[in-house]
Structure 1
Amino acid sequence: MADTGGQDHRSLYDGFEGYRTVAREEVAATLSEGLIVPDANVLLNLYRYTPDARENLLSVLRKLAVNLWVPHQVLVEFWRNRESVIRDPGDSDKTVDSIATHCGNAINDLRSWANRVSLPPETTSTLVGHIQSGFDQVASEVRALSAATNTDFSYNTAQDAVLKELEEIVAGRVGAEMSPQAHAKAVTEGLRRVANQEPPGYKDKSKGDSRAAGDYIVWEQVLTEAEARKKPVVFVTGDNKEDWWRVEAGQRRGPRVELVQEMLRRTGQLLLMVRPSQLLEYAKTFLEVEVSADSVRDVENIDSAVSRSEEVPPGGGWTVKALTIFMISLSGEAKVQAEVIKAAAAQSGFVTRDQVYDIAEYSPQRSLRGFTRPVNRIAQFVKGVGLADEKAVDILLAVYNDDSPEVGWAAGFRIHPEVLPMIQQVIADGLELPDDGD
């Protein structure tokens, strides 16, 4: 008998299930027998899809309704973001303003060229009129298309066509809310994972508060339901970030290996992850649902565009100049928080809870709840005056891990890694504004 070194006989994929490509037949079986779980972005993007694409996806959800299950946290995020998403396709003013800016720039460029070549004024005026007319026509059509897109949507929930469809589809298929104790525990674990870049959801660190744990709470609720029902899971999400997907050479190969393994450990079940466009393709093949190629393309394009728009901007959305103004303002209005940021910057970006108490000379009985509020308020002011990207990341993040003294208590604070090098430069420069206006 061959020496196995005391190990069980194992196969090629044992312990490496996350690398296995799931066969189409297994996908078909899981769609028929498993738990179909939509992420919040799937429901929210119904407001963004073309009418045909929206109806195709709703048809698929109706077909799968017997196996559909919606985590409570998914609806928390759906209702939290619904009105802003409705406003998104209808908010044509920002686009029209941008068009007007480009129009003005084009006219200025034309006039500069006309002056250099001594173009007759009447010819210049004719060309300017062509530019103005073209931009005006585009702006008018943008407003008209925006108005047409929003005809089925309403802030009044009794009149919203999407809600009427969803209400019927998910009736009796929504998970229960976590107990306060379980929720607090999940928030702590979710924020710990964010701080340590463990999936899922660590790409949401820019949210900076308990909302950064939202993806983990969804994941925990899915695990709990799959364990109770003893069913495999098909998680449908428009999110394409690497905190959910295993990405190789720029391609999504499947769910993160860690998530596949965690699902197996907790439930003994298979985890599949599909994009909404993939779900439409599978439904057309396996469920005999009529789905147009245009709908598949439109869904994929919109999901990708929305996901890209949620990515962290370069430099976290900050510049050295913006951070200098931020630190000068913080030093004047919230000196303790400014000193904590300086201490963290000197320690690779992290400062412990005990160090905060020492720096601030707080009594042991004092809570750190709300400690980052002055930081976030001043950061919001800097964004509001246009010095930083409106989607710029939060600068100082609470860290929750095994060193947290109680559930929901921060173990310390960390400077967002995207801005840490610039913060260190600002401090080294003595909070002096750069001469180059950076």
Structure 2
Amino acid sequence: MINESNISIYSLSSEREIQMWKECIFVFDTCALLDFYSFSTKSQQNIFDTIFEKIEERLWIPGHVEYEFLKNREKSMVKPFSEKYGLLQKEILKPISKNIKELKAEVGQLSTRTKKQNSHPYIDVHLTEELEGLVNDFNNQYIVLNKKIDDEIIIREEEINSKIDNDNVLTGFKKFFKVGKEYNFKTIMEIIKEGELRYKNKIPPGYGDLNCAKPKDGIQIYGDLIVWKQIIEFAKEIKKPIIFISNDVTKGDWCYIDDRNRILSPKEDLIREIKDESNVDFWMYTLEQFMYKSPKLLGSKIDVSVIEEAEHITQSKIEDEEEIRVFEKGDIVWVDFPGTRPAVIVQNDLSSTKVMIAPMSSKNEKLNYKFRTQVELSACDYGLTNNCIIKLEKHMVLDKKNLKQYVTHLTDNDMIKIDKALKIALEAEYSFVME
């Protein structure tokens, strides 16, 4: 007889969520820890005081997370200066200075070309002199203000660099987090062998690192799997539910997400594996979701402004990833045309501002085999909420600015199917036009 309770571990009711938060160990990944450096010092302390103090005995990180965090800590600390202030100078302040110089030169040209009274064009010299005076005054004031801005940026840089030796975040983590042991090289090599088979078949976690925007190599490719193995081993020892706090969600190899990068649920394979191996329940949240739910589920008194800051950090990361990524043929992306929905890039000329996409159905509908222009995708293969249909007969050309967020990349086999279906769709259009 069919028993619905057999799949209850794959969903999270309110009652089950409350119970998990009461009993669980909160495990943080590297990305969530490093994102603490994006918060203001005041917000960092507020998180420590209002949340971490309440769950001090229930915070844990795997040994490999400790390694990755310490390895990337200083880079994350100086990131606000190198990326944010550097771009501010390059993209805004320098162009302003250049524009002011050009304005001075153009006003000078105006004065030169209009000063002769006996020929056209002629403008009263007093007017052009007044204009030149205004521009010169503005330029002199800007030079003074620009120097103050440069001095302010230097102060920010010194503040950031001083935190490397006086790191409040590291001090807080040392106080609150217990740390698991790291694996030796032999054990890691065994995990890599398993990882090769898992990644080939898109068994989570970590396979998204094979096609990520910033390529990884060596052991680093299997970092997520190493972390996962350490979580499973730890769960066997403590026999308590695991809630995993991760901001590494856009690769599609840990969880399902919505269009705002919020976790909907972990991948089913992960829930099943840790249940079978350790007999514990497992769920996931982003750092932002964790803080948002903490007042209700932990009784924390975190400031609303800190949660708002977390939302801003998440949005900034999404925008940064969009700037870094060069979308390719075969990418599944969130597209705005209008309304946000998933689509597949089916043609992409890198030298063009346009791209051809095919929309994906957002409903769990069945493939209509009468339509040879449609291709079905399995949800479990690509980190999607439901099985989806790619409708090549509805392909369209959009501006690349409408491509909003990368989800994952299709396999070569599925791309062969899509190319065939697109060819049929284009031939049908051509036949219709000729008729």
Judged with a 3 Å threshold, the aligned counterparts in structure 2 of structure 1 residues 12 and 88 are, in CA distance, closer, same or farther, namely: same
Percent of pairs with identical residues: 21
Tell me, yes or no, if the aligned pair for 2:206 and 2:253 is still in contact at 8 Å: yes
Asked if residue 212 in structure 1 is aligned to residue 221 in structure 2, the reply is: yes
Judged with a 3 Å threshold, the aligned counterparts in structure 2 of structure 1 residues 303 and 248 are, in CA distance, closer, same or farther, namely: closer
Asked if residue 58 in structure 1 is aligned to residue 41 in structure 2, the reply is: no
Judged with a 3 Å threshold, the aligned counterparts in structure 2 of structure 1 residues 204 and 126 are, in CA distance, closer, same or farther, namely: farther
User: Which amino acid letter does the alignment assign opposite residue 214 of structure 1?
Assistant: G
Asked if residue 313 in structure 1 is aligned to residue 325 in structure 2, the reply is: yes
Please list every run of 5 or more consecutive structure 2 residues that lacks an aligned counterpart in the other structure. 115-127, 329-347, 352-410, 416-435
Q: CA deviation at 1:162?
A: 2.2
Match of 2:168 in 1: 161
Match of 1:189 in 2: 194
Indicate the SS of the match to 1:273: strand
Q: CA deviation at 1:291?
A: 0.7
Match of 1:246 among 248, 256, 273: 256
What's the CA shift string for 1:43-70, capped at 9, x where partnerless? 2222220123211222222321211111
Normalized per residue, the structure richer in strand is: 2
Match of 2:337 in 1: none
Match of 1:34 among 2, 5, 24: 24
Match of 1:226 in 2: 235
User: Which amino acid letter does the alignment assign opposite residue 279 of structure 1?
Assistant: F
Match of 1:123 in 2: 131
Match of 2:152 in 1: 144
Match of 1:397 in 2: none
Judged with a 3 Å threshold, the aligned counterparts in structure 2 of structure 1 residues 155 and 193 are, in CA distance, closer, same or farther, namely: farther
Match of 1:257 in 2: 268
CA distance in 2, matches of 1:135, 1:29: 61
Judged with a 3 Å threshold, the aligned counterparts in structure 2 of structure 1 residues 319 and 130 are, in CA distance, closer, same or farther, namely: farther
Asked if residue 291 in structure 1 is aligned to residue 302 in structure 2, the reply is: yes
Match of 2:206 in 1: 201
Match of 1:178 in 2: 183
Judged with a 3 Å threshold, the aligned counterparts in structure 2 of structure 1 residues 230 and 133 are, in CA distance, closer, same or farther, namely: farther
Asked if residue 69 in structure 1 is aligned to residue 60 in structure 2, the reply is: yes
Q: CA deviation at 1:288?
A: 2.6
* Aligned Cα root-mean-square deviation (Å): 3.9
Match of 1:272 among 273, 276, 283: 283
Asked if residue 103 in structure 1 is aligned to residue 96 in structure 2, the reply is: yes
Tell me, yes or no, if the aligned pair for 2:78 and 2:161 is still in contact at 8 Å: no
CA distance in 2, matches of 1:280, 1:193: 32
Q: How many pairs were matched up? A: 311
Match of 1:14 in 2: 6
CA distance in 1, matches of 2:168, 2:134: 47
CA distance in 2, matches of 1:109, 1:14: 71
Tell me, yes or no, if the aligned pair for 2:204 and 2:267 is still in contact at 8 Å: yes
CA distance in 1, matches of 2:226, 2:140: 51
Q: CA deviation at 1:105?
A: 6.0
Which sits farther off after the overlay, 102-111 or 87-96? 102-111
Q: CA deviation at 1:97?
A: 2.6
User: Which amino acid letter does the alignment assign opposite residue 313 of structure 1?
Assistant: R
Match of 2:406 in 1: none
User: Which amino acid letter does the alignment assign opposite residue 271 of structure 1?
Assistant: F
What's the CA shift string for 1:198-229, capped at 9, x where partnerless? 42223322213321211121111111111222
Q: CA deviation at 1:196?
A: 4.5
What's the CA shift string for 1:11-30, capped at 9, x where partnerless? 33524743x2331x433332
Judged with a 3 Å threshold, the aligned counterparts in structure 2 of structure 1 residues 184 and 140 are, in CA distance, closer, same or farther, namely: farther
CA distance in 1, matches of 2:202, 2:217: 14
CA distance in 1, matches of 2:95, 2:208: 33
Judged with a 3 Å threshold, the aligned counterparts in structure 2 of structure 1 residues 122 and 155 are, in CA distance, closer, same or farther, namely: same
Match of 2:77 in 1: 86
Q: CA deviation at 1:139?
A: 8.1
CA distance in 1, matches of 2:316, 2:58: 29
Judged with a 3 Å threshold, the aligned counterparts in structure 2 of structure 1 residues 315 and 62 are, in CA distance, closer, same or farther, namely: same
Q: CA deviation at 1:41?
A: 1.9
CA distance in 2, matches of 1:139, 1:303: 32
Judged with a 3 Å threshold, the aligned counterparts in structure 2 of structure 1 residues 134 and 179 are, in CA distance, closer, same or farther, namely: same
Match of 2:361 in 1: none
Q: CA deviation at 1:130?
A: 4.7
CA distance in 2, matches of 1:80, 1:319: 38
CA distance in 2, matches of 1:285, 1:168: 24
What's the CA shift string for 1:167-216, capped at 9, x where partnerless? 1212xx21011132221122333455445544222332221332121112
Q: CA deviation at 1:40?
A: 1.2
Q: TM-score, normalised by structure 1?
A: 0.60
Tell me, yes or no, if the aligned pair for 2:81 and 2:160 is still in contact at 8 Å: no
Q: CA deviation at 1:147?
A: 3.6
Judged with a 3 Å threshold, the aligned counterparts in structure 2 of structure 1 residues 47 and 182 are, in CA distance, closer, same or farther, namely: same
CA distance in 1, matches of 2:227, 2:24: 17
Tell me, yes or no, if the aligned pair for 1:110 and 1:128 is still in contact at 8 Å: no
Q: CA deviation at 1:35?
A: 1.4
Larger Rg: 2
CA distance in 2, matches of 1:48, 1:84: 12
User: Which amino acid letter does the alignment assign opposite residue 240 of structure 1?
Assistant: V
Judged with a 3 Å threshold, the aligned counterparts in structure 2 of structure 1 residues 165 and 247 are, in CA distance, closer, same or farther, namely: closer
Q: CA deviation at 1:231?
A: 1.3
User: Which amino acid letter does the alignment assign opposite residue 230 of structure 2?
Assistant: Q
Tell me, yes or no, if the aligned pair for 2:48 and 2:172 is still in contact at 8 Å: yes
Please list every run of 5 or more consecutive structure 1 residues that lacks an aligned counterpart in the other structure. 1-8, 322-413, 419-438
Judged with a 3 Å threshold, the aligned counterparts in structure 2 of structure 1 residues 298 and 209 are, in CA distance, closer, same or farther, namely: same
